[in-house]
Amino acid sequence: MDLAALLVTPFARLTELGGLLLVIPLMLPVVGLLLAPLLRGRWLGGGLLGRFTLLLLLLGLVAALAVATAVLTGDEALKYYLGGWLPPLGVALKADGLSAIMLLLSAVVILAVGVYAQREFQVPPDASETRASLVFWMLLMGVWAGLNAAFLGQDLFTLFVALELLTFSAVPLVALDGRAETLAAALRYLLFALLGSVLYLLGAVLFYGTYATLDITLLAERISGEPALPPAVIAAAALMTVGLLAKTALFPLHLWLPPAHAGAPPPASAILSALVVKASFFLILRLWFDVMPGALTPMTAQILGGLGAGAILFGNLVALRQARLKLLIAYSTVAQIGYLFLIFPLAARAESAALTGGMLQVVAHALAKAAMFMAAGLIAKALGHDRVRDLGGCVRVLPLTLLAFGLAGLSLIGLQPSGGYLTKTLLTAAADGTGQGWLGLVIQVGGLLTAAYLFWVFGHVLFGVPSTPAMPIKPPGRAQELVVLALALGALLLGLVPPALFDLVEVGRAGLEASAAVATAMAGAFGWSKLWGDVWPLLVVGLLVLGMLPWPDRPAGGSPRPATTSLSVTGHWAADLGTLLEPADRGLRQWPVAGLSLLILLLALAAAISTGA
Amino acid sequence: MTNALIVDAALALLVLGLALWVIATRAAYRAVVGFVAYGLLMAIIWVRLAAVDVAMTEAALGTGLTGLLLLGAAARLAPYETAEFDRRPGRGLRVLIGLLCAAVTLGLAAVVLLLPAPAPSLASLVADNLPPTGVGNPVTGVLLAHRAIDTLLESVVLLPALIGVWSVAANPAWGGRPGSLPRPPASSALTLLAQVLPPFGILVGIHLVWNGADDPGGKFQGATVLAAMWILVLIAGLREAPALRERRLRVLLVVGALVFIGIGASGIWLAGAFLAYPEGYAKPLILAIEAVLTLSIAATLGLLLAGPPAGDRPIGTTS
Amino acid sequence: MASSKAAAMPLIRAALARGVGFLGFWLLLAGPSLGQSTATGVTTDLAAGLAVGLLAAVVATWVSLRLLPPAPGRLRLTALARLARHFLWQSIVAGFDVARRAFDPRLPLKPGDLAFPTRFPPGTGRAAFGAITSLMPGTLPVGTDDHDRLVFHCLDLDQPITAGLARDEALVMGVRRNGSDRDA
Amino acid sequence: MNDPTLFGLCGAALVGLGLYGLLCQPGALRKILAFNLIGSGVFLLFGVIALRGGGVLAAAGRGIDGDPVPQALIITGLVVAFAATSIAVALLLRLAETSGRTTLENEAPPAPSLPGERASRPDGES
Amino acid sequence: MRLALDILTIVAVSLGAIFFLAGTVGLLRFPDTLTRLHALTKADNLGLGLVVLGLLPQVSGPLSALALLAVWLLALLSGSTVGQLLAGKAAVPDPDRAPTLTPGAGASHD
Amino acid sequence: MPEFLLGAAAFVLGTVALGLMRLLRGPGHADRMLSAQLLGTGGVGALLLLGVATGVGAIAEVALLLALLAAFASVAFVSGIQRSDGRGPPSATAPAAADSPGEHRRETA
């Protein structure tokens, strides 16, 4: 019924539905998921299921746009009480600005992935259904359903079910190719994510035990009325935060992310890196900015920000050492997650800039990372491998793909006018403004390190000796290349979006001035001095990296290990650092060590939260 | 009251002892056997906590299906499981983690002791809002009316889980019969059990669903019992598991949640809200939803146990 | 299985008998709540409950007939009652027997295996015999040997076990008149 | 000490024990068991909260033994935990069959999946 | 009458509890798996039966009483099946079972 | 009377708990399984006692469920063992070897 209505009703009428509108993005993927097992066979030359999913994704995009329009024009959060039952008894749906942005973002990214994957997961002519096609398309809708439920849910337990829906859908995607390594990666991901879920649930239980409600709005009212946080609430906040951090894979809890994101099929990697880890981050935002606003003690904020800074430095450095393109991108995700957590130490005195910057980072990274993973998939498919050292010459066969990869990279580095630039400018300004200049420094260094590994990749691409046949084994589909390019361009041109649209961030929360912050950040972005000031460090880094490249005397055959011999001084320095970093990363990703980090973090957070209570 | 306290203390100690055994024993098989016993005790504890609905779920799920799943897994893993116990982290790390876990426990214990004294509760609110739902069992009211979305999402969650289980199949086996169910040697005792028990299980399952509207019970409990009976028949070899490509089976898997959504959506017009029930028709609609959901959940739970498709022969047999 | 009219009669009879039995079991389960609804005078609930019970009994009967087709031959209720009495008494004896041995400080056991050439062909009858003997004093069926004899593990080989087993066997066989040899 | 508190402390201990097992036991099956222990500890705490919330009403003669909301949520949680266990078991069994591994220790980061390799994945049973 | 029924309850339930104890003692004291299995199936089922018998006078109405009996019958069916299944399994050659495989050669005490 | 029934339930639980010693001592997998099975029967008894003692009729249904599914663990156990036997001689001895008396002594010492 929703479907039919969507097809015939003009777009504008949708926004008149009010809160009921929220049911559409919640239920659309669920209905798709339920119908999927019945849709067998080929259709229009591909899989019926793939085409059906695409149609559903288009409808989902319309619905997300409608929600965003309604939220922005109405300038207040949409709310809906399911079954007409008011909380605390019933469950509410709510779309504030943040939800609307996330809904829209996931609709766009999943639609792009859906277009990309039409070719990868079509049904061969001699079959009506294959394992990979059914599993991929169903779980894609499962992920979508979990994401939308996580963005709209206003009840801590509903959110728990949404997280589980997300996890159960995401994990099998990792192991879709069925090799032992990816099975191990999926199992590791599942078990760590389950640990995160159960800690989250424990926190929700303690909230219920204290206030007999799980509704976010009601909890916020009751907690803000407390003279001091009760012990159960302190414990609950610590448990939920740590549980969600484990699912977000914030350093040092990133043990599962690199193998899982690198081992999944490229479209799945794109979804996992761009969206799935963001859902748990989004719930951390909900927890600290909606459930317990004002309870964020400086100590807590410093811990989260410190971990974020650690993630930026560590993730980028380890990424620099990766020999495989997909692993490099996965470690880049570890680093980029770090930026999200810088907003906590900034939020206390610069909430507008921090939240706007955080949301921009979510969007920009999602677009850029999805583009990069899918570009890497096209490269790997065309060349039959994704060893960075053997990428030489592939620019001739995949010019469009590499262009997209590069443009997405520019957003990660943070060049104007990309979303990355906006994020970094907003966060750096906020850091300087709040007297935490070291955070600004971390951001700058992070950008340079990002530039370094991108130069490293492109150095090999442009100047490396072609080791593989010039002709691709399987040329990428035009639609695939275009969709990757579109995502990359989206990330790059985010800064040119009219600032008024960023007011979406502030809908539903008082005292924010998102569009003003964005306008300030973009002011003067294209002045010559500013441009030069941003570009020359990159040039230096580029020269240093190119100096490290062993391409003139590259050994034949191309070993899969990274170059540790080099003529330049920077090469030796990087090699020394690498010998320190890689064992450190291996150690941190040992299960017991990661567990130890998690426990320490849990106790430290509990202590930190109680310092201000 | 003292005898009750003795019962409770005995249960608590036993459960802790078994948990310790599950964690600390050397071989996985022993741990699993301990866990089965643990599940039994948990069912009794739920009774002591006045949560009979939960006790039924735990009895059916915890002791029946989970035991089957884990024991089967432990047996199939036994050949591969060489000295994994010895690859524990070093003593120092273990002690450190142990201390931190103890700290977590102590912190939680303190939190439990410091929970607000007149415990906040939704019990009276549920009681006040139960009449419009027409059901007499407050747990069913909460699951199917007040928090229907959780139940809906939760029955949907089972589907990706099942797809996840299927997804580890080998490509050529796709769409075939599931192959993870244990196949014991022909035993007349098992055959007799599988011939005699299922009708009674079906009666109990239907009873739990029907009666769950007003008394403890409900679709999860009923569906678990039905799934268990189905599995028993399959294990005994009286029937073959269906091929997973069969359309009837696929329909069975999704019909429950689809009907739920359909009735929920009709509530938009008939009762003013998604997942609301028209006045006076709440109970029949709830029972209808429960009936179809029971079938879907039972099929899904059974197939979760039956494992990924294995072509025409079960995984692990030598042909 | 019931292709001819002659074969259809026992099927219908078995279906009716089992159906009534299952309906009775349903009444056991639903008894308390049905009692409630009669007490409050809500007859629609009572009717609905009975209807669901009838439906459940039909489903159970159908499943039961599919899984365990009725054996030819008629059930002899007097023999069944005799078997039940014997079974009840012997299981009490079995419990006392085991308890006595368990509590005895000397642990008087003489365990061992014993092969019993049963007259039951493999099938439901033999399975039922095994199930019953597993609750009789001192015997526990462990399987079949190469000569198609049932192997029993016994607690005390000095006791007259074979005689007891033969008596059990006769009692179980008597329950169904001229039927057991065609069980499958 | 009253009964709910007793089981509440029991739940706290189960969470700690399960955490230790999940982090220190190398075998994946043991980790799955430990996860279930943590889960049941959490459910137990929730059950205690439910019982505490019902005491008031029982005293007032309203005839409800515990707060039904947590009880309903526990039932949902138990089913979700079962689903999680079954996925984990399926992955683990397949992992053991393809590689002989039953632990998650000492893993090397996997090479990304490639089209050529996908075509040659072990499709039958060895 | 009430008193007589209560006495019946107390006697039967106590007796049942003692049989549960007997099952446990047998499980712990008996020398091998199969003999332990005897203790389990026979003593425990009698114990449960006596407990049910003892509870019969305490429940309201004949239907509830019959329901209790049904629980016992189901337990009997399960118990006997489990007994046979585990017995068949224990009879598979196993180091600590070997001495009792041949008739009469058993009687191995701890 | 409820007090007595509760006491009886505690006693039954206590005795089956004692039976869990078999879980600790083994020595075979089947022996450990026996103790879980004992717990099942004892649990049914204890639940019936608790149900009548507290007057909550639905508790009997929990006992009914336990009785209905009591055989499941053993069925899985039996077939599980068979499956690893079916893998051939080396693996068939693996579970038994893991439970050899020598190793058992090491653990309880």
Q: What is the pLDDT along chain C (184 residues), one digit of tens a residue?
A: 444 555 567 788 888 989 999 998 888 888 766 666 555 555 667 788 888 889 999 999 999 988 888 877 777 788 888 888 888 888 888 888 888 888 888 878 788 788 888 778 777 878 888 888 888 888 888 877 777 788 888 888 877 778 888 888 888 887 776 544 433 3
Task: Tell me what pLDDT residue F81 has.
Answer: 57
Q: Scan residues 285-304 of B and list those with Cβ closer than 8 Å to A.
A: none
How many domains does the structure of chain B reveal? 2
Radius of gyration of chain F (CA): 18
Which range, of B133-147, B214-228, E90-104, F68-82, averages the lowest pLDDT? Answer: E90-104
B91 Cβ neighbours under 8 A, 6+ residues apart: none
Among B54, B82, B110, residue at a domain's last position: B82
> How far is A166 from C27, CA to CA, in rounded Å?
44
Give the pLDDT band (50/70/90) at residue B294.
very high
Looking at CA atoms only, how far is residue B274 from chain F in angstroms?
A: 33
Please name the residue ranges forming H helices in chain E. 2-29, 33-38, 44-55, 61-90
Buried b (16+ CB within 10 A) or exposed e, B117-128: eebbbbbbbbbe
Shared domain for C149 and C83, answered yes or no, is: yes
- Dihedral angle over CA of C100, C102, C106, C109, nearest 10: 90
Count the Cβ atoms, other than its own, within 10 Å of residue A440. Answer: 18
Give the pLDDT band (50/70/90) at residue E107.
very low
End-to-end CA distance of chain F, in Å? 44
Task: Tell me what pLDDT residue C40 has.
Answer: 56
> How far is A328 from A317, CA to CA, in rounded Å?
10
Task: Tell me what pLDDT residue F83 has.
Answer: 38
Chain F residues near residue C32 by CB distance under 8 angstroms: 57
How many domains does the structure of chain C reveal? 2
**Cα dist from F80 to B74, B92, B180, B287, whole Å:** 8, 36, 11, 38
> How far is A355 from A284, CA to CA, in rounded Å?
12
Is B199 an 8 Å CB contact of chain D?
no
Which residue type does C125 have? Answer: G
Structural domain includes residue D121: no
> How far is A93 from D62, CA to CA, in rounded Å?
31
Burial class (CB in 10 A: 0-12, 13-18, 19+), C3: exposed
Which residue type does A93 have? Answer: L
Structural domain includes residue D109: no
Contact between D65 and B104 using a beta-carbon 8 Å cutoff: no
Question: Do residues B107 and A235 touch, judged by C-beta distance below 8 A?
Answer: yes
Instruction: Note down the domain range covering B241.
Output: 136-319
DSSP A25: H
Structural domain includes residue D120: no
Chain C residues near residue F61 by CB distance under 8 angstroms: 29
Chain B residues near residue F71 by CB distance under 8 angstroms: 193, 197
Which residue type does B264 have? Answer: G
Question: Do residues A523 and A499 touch, judged by C-beta distance below 8 A?
Answer: no
β-sheet bridge partners, residue A35: none
Count the Cβ atoms, other than its own, within 10 Å of residue C147. Answer: 7
Residue D52's CATH number: 1.10.287.3510
Counted residue by residue, chain A has a size of 613
End-to-end CA distance of chain D, in Å? 58
Chain B residues near residue F40 by CB distance under 8 angstroms: 40, 63
> What is the tens place of the pLDDT at every residue in A236-288?
999 999 999 999 999 889 999 999 998 899 999 999 999 999 999 999 999 99
Closest Cα partner for D33 from D46, D20, D16, D21?
D21
Looking at CA atoms only, how far is residue E11 from chain C in angstroms?
A: 15
Q: Scan residues 82-121 of B and list those with Cβ closer than 8 Å to C.
A: none
**Cα dist from B267 to A42, A54, B103, D123, E28, whole Å:** 35, 28, 49, 48, 61
Looking at CA atoms only, how far is residue F14 from chain C in angstroms?
A: 17
Shared domain for B159 and B266, answered yes or no, is: yes
Contact between B318 and F80 using a beta-carbon 8 Å cutoff: no
More confident residue, E93 or E77: E77
Structural domain includes residue D39: yes
User: In the structure, do chain D and chain E come into contact, i.e. share 3 or more CB pairs under 8 Å?
Assistant: no
> What is the tens place of the pLDDT at every residue in F26-57?
777 788 888 888 888 899 999 999 888 887 77
E81 Cβ neighbours under 8 A, 6+ residues apart: B189, B190, B192, B193, C131, F71, F74
Which range, of A465-474, A501-510, B285-294, E1-10, averages the lowest pLDDT? Answer: A465-474
> How far is B178 from B304, CA to CA, in rounded Å?
10
Closest by Cβ to B206, choosing from C56, C124, C128: C56
> What is the tens place of the pLDDT at every residue in A547-598?
776 544 444 444 444 444 444 455 566 667 777 888 888 888 888 899 999 9
Low-confidence spans in chain D with pLDDT less than 70: 1-2, 55-64, 105-126
Is F82 an 8 Å CB contact of chain C?
no
Query: The tokens of B50 are what?
Result: 């006045």
Contact between A161 and B276 using a beta-carbon 8 Å cutoff: no
Please name the residue of chain F whose CA is at the shortest distance from the CA of residue B183: F79
Which range, of A323-327, B85-89, C153-157, F95-99, averages the lowest pLDDT? Answer: F95-99
Structural domain includes residue B21: yes
Q: Scan residues 22-81 of E and list those with Cβ closer than 8 Å to F.
A: 23-24, 27-28, 33, 36-37, 40, 44-45, 47-48, 51-52, 55, 58-59, 64, 67-68, 70-72, 74-75, 77-79, 81
For chain B, count helices (H), then strands (E): 12, 0
Structural domain includes residue D50: yes
Closest Cα partner for F65 from B4, E55, B46, A62?
B46
Task: Tell me what pLDDT residue B57 has.
Answer: 93
pLDDT, average across residues B233-257: 90
Element (H, E) at C151: strand C150-154
F64 Cβ neighbours under 8 A, 6+ residues apart: B204, C29, E67, E70, E71, E74
> How far is A554 from A458, CA to CA, in rounded Å?
16
Please name the residue ranges forming H helices in A124-230. 131-152, 156-174, 180-211, 216-224
Task: Tell me what pLDDT residue D111 has.
Answer: 46
Task: Tell me what pLDDT residue C37 has.
Answer: 56
Task: Tell me what pLDDT residue D63 has.
Answer: 52
Query: Taking 70 as the threshold, does the pLDDT of residue F80 lie above it?
Result: no
Is E88 an 8 Å CB contact of chain C?
yes
Closest by Cβ to E55, choosing from F35, F48, F74: F48
Structural domain includes residue C72: no
Chain B residues near residue E85 by CB distance under 8 angstroms: 184, 187, 189-190
Chain-wide mean pLDDT for chain A? Answer: 86
Shared domain for C82 and C105, answered yes or no, is: yes
End-to-end CA distance of chain E, in Å? 49
Query: Taking 70 as the threshold, does the pLDDT of residue A59 lie above it?
Result: yes
> How far is C34 from A592, CA to CA, in rounded Å?
56
Please name the residue of chain B whose CA is at the shortest distance from the CA of residue C122: B188
Closest Cα partner for C153 from B24, B261, E66, E84?
E84
Radius of gyration of chain A (CA): 23
Shared domain for C51 and C86, answered yes or no, is: no
β-sheet bridge partners, residue A94: A79
How many C-alpha atoms does A443 have within 13 Å on its Cβ side?
Answer: 29
Please name the residue of chain C whose CA is at the shortest distance from the CA of residue B134: C45
Instruction: Note down the domain range covering C63.
Output: 5-67
> How far is D20 from F50, CA to CA, in rounded Å?
34
The values of phi and psi at residue A76, to 5°, are -150, 160
Structural domain includes residue D16: yes
Shared domain for B155 and B50, answered yes or no, is: no
> How far is E61 from B202, CA to CA, in rounded Å?
25
> How far is A339 from A315, CA to CA, in rounded Å?
11
Question: Do residues A609 and A295 touch, judged by C-beta distance below 8 A?
Answer: yes
How many domains does the structure of chain D reveal? 1
Structural domain includes residue D124: no
3-state helix, strand, coil in chain C (%, to 5): 65, 10, 25
> How far is B72 from A401, CA to CA, in rounded Å?
48
> How far is D60 from A142, CA to CA, in rounded Å?
45
Closest by Cβ to E44, choosing from F31, F41, F77: F41
Shared domain for B186 and B296, answered yes or no, is: yes
Is C81 an 8 Å CB contact of chain B?
no
* A504 alpha-carbon distance from chain centroid: 19
Question: Do residues A48 and A39 touch, judged by C-beta distance below 8 A?
Answer: yes
Q: Which conformational region is residue E104 in: left (phi greater than 0), alpha (psi within -120 to 50 degrees), or beta? A: left
Contact between B189 and E74 using a beta-carbon 8 Å cutoff: no
How many domains does the structure of chain F reveal? 1
Shared domain for C178 and C87, answered yes or no, is: yes
Buried b (16+ CB within 10 A) or exposed e, A373-393: bbbbbbbbbbbbbbbbbbbbb
Instruction: Note down the domain range covering D53.
Output: 3-102
Query: The tokens of B266 are what?
Result: 């009709």
